[in-house]
Amino acid sequence: MRKVIIAGNWKMNKTTTEAIELANGLKRELYKIDDIGIVICPPFTAIDEVAEVVYESNIGLGAQNIHWEDAGAFTGEVSAPMIKELGCVYVILGHSERRQYFHETNETVDKKLKSALKHGLTPIVCVGESLEEREGGRTFDVIRDHVTNSLEGLTPEDAKKIIIAYEPVWAIGTGKTATPEQAQEVHAFIRGLLTELFGRETAEEITIQYGGSVKPGNIVELINQKDIDGALVGGASLDVKSFSEIVKNCSRKGA
Ligand code: 13P
C-alpha cells in the first residue's frame, strides 16, 4: 500500500513571521493525523524557523528548489546540503513555474534529482502539460518526455525514493481541476512509464501526487482514484483551515 502524501507548496508566499504562524496553526490542527504523510515547503527564507516549529512533529519539511552542485560560484542559488542541514527531508524539483519562468529543463531537473538523492532528500519531481499541449493532443508525449528525461539514469533502487507530482499547467492556480478521470488517466500512464523504466515492483511503490487547484471539496474524489496517491497543493496550502481540511479529508480519522 502506498502512503498518501499531501504536500503544501507555499511558492513565493509568507514572510518568516507569517510562515511561523501558519506552521503553528497546522501543527495544532493536524497533530492527531498518523496515516497521512504531511509536508510543507516554505520559501527558503522561512525554512530555518519553520523547522523549529515542526521539529519532532508529524509534519515534514521541504524546499521548493535546489542547485545541482553542493557549493560554488552560483550567485543566488541554494544547495542540497544547505537545506538538509536546516531539517528539510523533501525538495520540489522541476515545478512548471520553474520550467516556464526560470528555464528549468529535464536535464537540470535530472541533475538536481541526483544531488537530492545523494544527500538523502526525497525529491518531488513535477511533470505536466500546458493547455496548448493538451488541446493539441500532445499530453502523453509531454508526460513521456518529462518522466523519461527528468529521471534519466536513475536506478530502480533510487526510483523507489522519489515522488512524482502530476500537475497539468492549465489547472494550476486557475480553479480548473482536472476531473478525477482525467487525472487518473495520466497517473496510470505515468505508472506505466515507471514500469517500463524500473519494473513493476518499483513502479507500484512510487507515490504519484496530483496538483492543480486541489481544495477540501475535491480532494476525496481525486484520492479515491487508483493511481492518485496524494496531492501537491498550492493556493489552498497557504491557509490553516483549507490545508488541514484537505489532509483530514484523506485521513480515516477525519476531523
Ligand atoms: P494551486 O493549488 O494553487 O493550483 O497550485 C498547484 C501547484 O502548483 C502546487 O505545486
Instruction: Taking each helix axis as running N to C, give the angle between helix 16-30 and helix 44-54, from 0 to 180 degrees, rounded to the nearest 10.
Output: 30
Residue 111 lies in domain? 62-230
pLDDT value of position 10 = 98
Is residue 84 one of the residues assigned to a domain? Answer: yes
Check if 167 is active-site: yes
pLDDT the model gives residue 86? 98
The label of the residue with cell 500512464 reads 189
How many folded domains does the chain comprise?
A: 1
| pLDDT number for residue 115 | 98
Question: Given ligand 1 and candidates 214, 239, 242, 243, which is best to mutate, with the most ligand atoms within 8 Å of its CB?
Answer: 214
39-64 burial, b at 16+ Cβ within 10 Å, e below that, comes to bbbbbeebbeebbebbeeeebbbbbb
Residue 6's DSSP bridge partners are 38, 231
Ligand 1 center–CA 233 separation, angstroms: 5
121 lies in some domain: yes
Inside any domain, residue 122: yes
- The verdict on residue 54 lying in a domain is no
Residue at 240 is within a domain:
no
Residue 96 lies in a domain: yes
Mutate to test the pocket of ligand 1, among 5, 6, 9, 98 (most ligand atoms within 8 A of CB): 9
**Is the Cβ–Cβ distance between 43 and 15 less than 8 Å?**
no
Q: Strand, helix or coil at 103?
A: coil
Find the CATH number of the domain harbouring 67.
3.20.20.70
CA–centroid distance, residue 98 to ligand 1 (Å): 13
Q: Average pLDDT for consecutive 10-residue bins of the chain (255 residues)?
A: 94 98 98 97 98 98 98 98 98 98 97 98 98 95 98 97 97 90 98 98 97 96 97 98 98 70
Residue 145 lies in a domain: yes
pLDDT given for residue 1 in this prediction:
76
Residue 164 inside a domain? The answer is yes
